[in-house]
Amino acid sequence: MKKGKVLKRLFPISLCAVLLMLSLACTGTAPTSTSIETIPLFLRYVDAVNNQEQLLKLTWNTKKGTVEIDTSTTLAFPNYANESNFWVRLSPWIGLSSQPPKPMSNTAIYWDGSDTATLFTTEKDLFVGLQENNLKANIVSLTSTSMCNQYFNMTNCYTTPNKLYTFEQDPSNSTIYRFSSTEAVKTTVSGYAMGVGAEGSTTYVLSASETQSSTGPNSFLNIQFINADGSLIEKKVANSERKEPYSLLSGAGGWAAFANGNFYSNTAKVNASSHSPKFELVQSLADAFEIISTSTSLGSFGGPYPSPAFYGYKGYTIVVGSTFSPDEITVALLNDEKLVAFVLITPLDTAETNFVTYDATGKELSRYNIQTPLQIVVPQS
């Protein structure tokens, strides 16, 4: 048994001082063999009093269940989100019809797990207030006021090393934006946009549409391909027809995340790059979420809820967000859409929280106490 150790240090942002304390020894190893043994994560904090954000690097060993926080690796930058309409909801919240609590952010993040992150921001003073401590930042300044909305980590934004993609939903026609440091490209697509992503010079959009029939309305999905020259190709997604509409308030779901060439929504996926895109239910994803939810006694949402976010990382898939309860954040590693290991961060409404690691069977491996973050930023590549 390896005895835990205490890491303690005060940072320039007093709100973001983090105490890491191992409170349960680690036993056992994850039963699933994978070439990814460690996953780097960012704990994201906001100091609303001093108008600053901080990223603190954490490394999770997915096989042993151990966690290390590098107290010398941080990145801090200004946050004056109330001065702009570009913002991200960082804190999980209960009730889709209610406004979420502050704080807000006007900085979106792309990170591939290296010592450099890309910050997409409308913050005019970011260059002046940036504090790099073994983490560096590439800054992409944006002047647009388009919004990145975020619910339980699922968001209408998608980032690459130098571009930010986002969409505004409308039942009939949605608007897709592609931002860079030099341009803002706007495209209108048919239907209710659910997800956006990009590979190479192609932008992918998953949208839902509705037709009327003698038996009532029928909902279905489309994939739109937006090429670099602005031309657009649309393909209907097979097996996606249903009576229930696709929306945030429906069990069919209203969000989809782009990862490894697929759009994921809860336990379903659509292969975006396929010549014949198809809606598929993935049983191994359902099994993974069942294992995660039964590993604790937390209460469930009790109704439809936004999907967690999915990210592609080194050929694997990382799931992050509240997967079964409003009082937890899940970070799960999947290989071929099968659970490898996962973390639960809970509760979320207290100053300090538990960071608990598990193996693929739902067996608890280690338990840590940390200051409650407002967001977990995972790598993508």
Q: Would you call 82 helix, strand, or coil by DSSP? A: helix
Which single residue is written with the structure tokens 């990223």? 55
Per the CB < 8 A criterion, the answer to whether 47 and 13 are in contact is: yes
What type of residue sits at position 137?
A
* Residue from 287, 295, 314, 311 nearest 34 by CA: 314
Ordered mean pLDDT values, 10 residues apiece, the chain (381 residues):
33 37 35 70 91 95 96 91 78 51 82 96 85 95 81 87 93 92 92 95 95 85 95 96 81 86 93 92 95 91 78 96 90 97 94 97 97 94 90
Neighbouring-strand partners of residue 202: 199
What is residue 23's predicted lDDT score, i.e. its pLDDT? Answer: 35
Per the CB < 8 A criterion, the answer to whether 199 and 159 are in contact is: no
Phi, psi of 14 (to 5 degrees): -65, -35
Q: DSSP for 219-248? A: EEEEEEEE-TTS-EEEEEPBT--BSS--ST
**How far is Cα 360 from Cα 136, in angstroms, rounded to an integer?**
34
What is residue 21's predicted lDDT score, i.e. its pLDDT? Answer: 36
Neighbour tally for 169: CB within 10 Å: 19
What is residue 299's predicted lDDT score, i.e. its pLDDT? Answer: 83
Neighbouring-strand partners of residue 355: 345, 368
Q: Which residues contact 335 (CB under 8 A, 6 or more apart)?
A: 32, 34, 36, 316, 317
**How far is Cα 19 from Cα 2, in angstroms, rounded to an integer?**
19
Report angle CA 77, 81, 87 to the nearest 5 degrees.
105
What is residue 4's predicted lDDT score, i.e. its pLDDT? Answer: 35
